[in-house]
Amino acid sequence: MPKLIETMSTAIDALLPELETIYKDLHQHPELSMQEVRTAGIVADYVEKLGYDVTRKVGVTGVVALLHNGDGPTVMLRADMDALPMAEATGLPYASTVKAKDEDGFEVGVAHSCGHDLHVTWLLGVARLMAEHRDAWRGTLMAVFQPGEEVGRGARSMLDEGMTTRFPKPDVILGQHVMVGAAGTIGYRSGTILSAGDSLKVKLFGRGSHGSQPQTSIDPVIMAASTTLRLQTIVSREISPRDSAVLTIGSLQAGTKENIIPDDATLKLNMRTYDEDVREYMLGAIRRICCAECAASNAPREPEFTTLSSYPLTVNDTAVTERLRDAFETQFGERAYETQPAAASEDFSLFGREWDVPYSFWFIGSTDPETFRNALAAKKLNEIPSNHSPKFAPVLDPTLRTGLEAMLCAAGVWLDQHDKSL
């Protein structure tokens, strides 16, 4: 067991009930991206009382907390705070019933269906334990509570407000994410661990008319349908089978009534890639196909493209991850394993890219172990509610403890004063 966690083991046991209370409160009071006012206030007040130097409203609602504890490395730990615009269907006694207005003014359900409430809770726990056991470590701990990960704007907004000049440059940047997997497990990986993600809105223009007189129209519904089908051939016919890529059209909106041919139609699509060249090719292919289908339909103008979000690849530093692997295996034994890349995307790596600092990101399993084993044996893992499902519900025991210990373990690789062999 790493010395830092061994030193804090009794305190961890005592702290878990408080963290569970914090988690359930955050879960019941989720906030949409870039609207995390209550959450940011809770975390800022909590760490400020522990003696951290706290800066609020970094990137709208972001919080940066620094604890200086003598000479040593600076370690940045990051947690994202935002929830999703969806209703929760877990049936939990602490399920969210919150509704809020999104950026377009529509009322939506709000739920922590991606687990960011756990991320915040873990980091608050680490912040408290490190503050109360300063004799066990040396250096500077930087706790970053980030807004807007779900819309790809949070990290960028913090960086655009001068984060790299206002705060000390970290020696390493670390983060973790709750995922489907047996609770109590840690999945790490050197190199690419998360895909790049790009979301686009494409507006197609036609000419509206009465449904009984299609010859007087340029039908954007037909245009959108043809475009949707053709876009699927990018992955199936233009990308090598040796490269992984996903393209999904998640929204097709057109018209208001069955006998009215509308003036326009809008597609919203998302793509995931693991290689920058493949990413650039697909972005070009999307534009080419959309323009060609509009031209084939004699559209009055070219389509209009809007970037909704863009996430870079998350590529873990090899040297950092090897040190983490050794620490995780020491602490968790066989529960720490090398994972495969996930098709999910994150803006976490922007901090490392902007600061030119090595970083690593890993996964914490959150599924009841027996449920996971049975699903694995039956080859039904896809039936377990995953992140962004309205039924996503991490089991708190042992997920809460595991995430807390994993983040402590990782920070200790650089800050622990007892065990320099890690």
SS (H, E, C) the chain: CCHHHHHHHHHHHHHHHHHHHHHHHHHHCCCCCCCCHHHHHHHHHHHHHCCCEEEEEECCCEEEEEEEECCCCEEEEEEECCCECCCCCCCCCCCCCCEEECCCCCEEECECCCCHHHHHHHHHHHHHHHHHCHHHECEEEEEEEECCHHHCCHHHHHHHCCHHHHCCCCCEEEEEEEEEEECCCEEECCEEEECEEEEEEEEEECECEECCCHHHCECHHHHHHHHHHHHCHHHHHHCCCCCCEEEEEEEEEECCCCCEECCEEEEEEEEEECCHHHHHHHHHHHHHHHHHHHHHCCCCCCCEEEEEEEECCEEECHHHHHHHHHHHHHHHHHHEEECCCECCCCCCHHHHHHHCCCEEEEEEEEECHHHHHHHHHCCCHHHCCCCCCCCCCCCHHHHHHHHHHHHHHHHHHHHECCCCCC
Tell me the β-bridge partners of 310. 198
Q: Which CATH superfamily is domain 3-193+313-415 in?
A: Zn peptidases (3.40.630.10)
What pLDDT shows up at residue 421?
A: 44
Dihedral angle of Cα 376, 380, 384, 390, to the nearest 10 degrees: 170
Cα distance between the two ends of the chain = 11
Residues within the annotated binding site for Mn(2+)? 114, 116, 150, 177
**Cis ω before 398 (30° cut-off from 0):** yes
Residues within the annotated binding site? 114, 116, 150, 177
Task: Just give the CATH number of 196-310.
Answer: 3.30.70.360
Q: Is 88 a catalytic residue?
A: no
What pLDDT shows up at residue 363?
A: 98
What pLDDT shows up at residue 422?
A: 40
Q: Residue ranges per domain, the chain?
A: 3-193+313-415, 196-310
Please give the Cα distance from 45 to 47 (Å, whole number).
Answer: 6
- Catalytically annotated residue among 31, 82, 149, 150: 150
What pLDDT shows up at residue 105?
A: 92
Are 261 and 214 in contact by the 8 Å Cβ rule? The answer is yes
Residues of the chain with pLDDT under 50: 421-422
Are 221 and 262 in contact by the 8 Å Cβ rule? The answer is yes
Please give the Cα distance from 76 to 146 (Å, whole number).
Answer: 12
Tokens representing 306 are 């809007």
Q: Is 275 a catalytic residue?
A: no
Pairing of strands 62-69, 139-146: antiparallel
Are 247 and 235 in contact by the 8 Å Cβ rule? The answer is yes
- Catalytically annotated residue among 31, 36, 80, 219: 80
Residue 347: how many CA atoms within 13 Å on its side-chain side?
A: 21
What pLDDT shows up at residue 419?
A: 54
